[in-house]
């Protein structure tokens, strides 16, 4: 099996200084900091396995960061590429409406609590969204820490 081509990372003094400042400031995401450390170590001509051990990732990650740096530059190697996926149905305002609605009394006297389907139907009836599934409502409410009926606002009981 042929050995994969190792892309060489050669940083200018300015890029090296900027990456060192970037890693010591600690204000970026963990992924970006790890990528910056990978680039700095790759610039020192270390092997991919040694870099992977030093930063706590797999060798494939090091290879991928080297390749992106060689092909697209240092900045492109640091940041995440846009990920595919659907646009979220609920923005911040719609989530707030959902949480407020879930905290109100359920419709009708025969119901004790809201069901996910009732909440989804009510959001559509109020014109907050055109369509939404009960599963999306459930996932959205699961992310919040509001819990009607308990004194604490945590996710699990004491």
**Residues 108-131: tens digit of each pLDDT:** 878 889 999 999 999 999 999 999
Q: Quick one: pLDDT at residue 27?
A: 82
Strands (E) in 8-137, as ranges, are none
Question: Residue 134 and residue 102: Cα distance in Å, rounded?
Answer: 13
Enclosing domain of residue 134: 92-143
Tens place of pLDDT for every residue, the chain, 158 residues? 555 667 888 899 999 999 999 889 878 889 999 999 999 999 999 999 999 999 999 999 999 999 999 999 999 999 988 888 888 889 989 999 999 999 999 988 788 899 999 999 999 999 999 999 999 999 999 988 655 555 454 444 55
Question: Residue 39 and residue 27: Cα distance in Å, rounded?
Answer: 18
Q: Quick one: pLDDT at residue 107?
A: 86
Strands (E) in 36-96, as ranges, are none
50 located within any domain? yes
Cα 106 to its chain centre, rounded Å, is 34
Statement to judge: residues 60 and 96 lie in one domain? no
Return all residues near 14 (Cβ < 8 A) that are at least 6 apart.
Answer: none
DSSP 93-119: HHHHHHHHHHTSPPSSSS-SS--HHHH
Statement to judge: residues 130 and 101 lie in one domain? yes
> Would you tell me how many other CB atoms lie within 10 Å of the CB of residue 1?
3
Statement to judge: residues 73 and 98 lie in one domain? no
Statement to judge: residues 98 and 73 lie in one domain? no
Statement to judge: residues 74 and 17 lie in one domain? yes
Statement to judge: residues 60 and 109 lie in one domain? no
Query: Measuring CA to CA, how many Å separate 61 from each of 35, 100, 113, 115, 126?
Result: 9, 43, 48, 44, 47
Q: Quick one: pLDDT at residue 78?
A: 92
Q: Of the candidates 78, 101, 117, which is a domain's last residue?
A: 78
Question: Residue 158 and residue 52: Cα distance in Å, rounded?
Answer: 41
Q: Are 73 and 49 in contact (CB under 8 A)?
A: no
Largest Cα separation within the chain, whole Å, is 72
157 located within any domain? no
Q: Are 65 and 77 in contact (CB under 8 A)?
A: yes
Statement to judge: residues 52 and 17 lie in one domain? yes
Structural domains of the chain, count: 2
Question: Residue 138 and residue 116: Cα distance in Å, rounded?
Answer: 6
Statement to judge: residues 21 and 59 lie in one domain? yes
């Amino acid at each position: 099996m042929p050995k994969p081509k190792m892309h060489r990372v050669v940083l200018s003094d300015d890029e090296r200084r900027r990456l060192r400042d970037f890693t010591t400031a600690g204000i970026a995401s963990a992924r970006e900091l790890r990528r910056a450390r990978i680039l700095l170590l790759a610039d020192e001509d270390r092997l991919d396995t040694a870099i992977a051990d030093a930063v706590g990732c797999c060798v494939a990650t090091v290879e991928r960061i080297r390749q992106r740096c060689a092909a697209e530059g240092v900045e492109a190697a640091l940041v995440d590429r846009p990920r595919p996926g659907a646009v979220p149905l609920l923005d911040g305002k719609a989530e707030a409406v959902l949480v407020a609605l879930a905290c109100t009394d359920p419709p009708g006297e025969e119901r004790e609590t809201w069901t996910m389907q009732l909440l989804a139907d009510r959001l559509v009836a109020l014109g907050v969204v055109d369509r939404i599934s009960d599963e999306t409502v459930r996932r959205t409410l699961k992310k919040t820490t509001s819990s009607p009926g308990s004194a604490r606002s945590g996710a699990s009981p004491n």
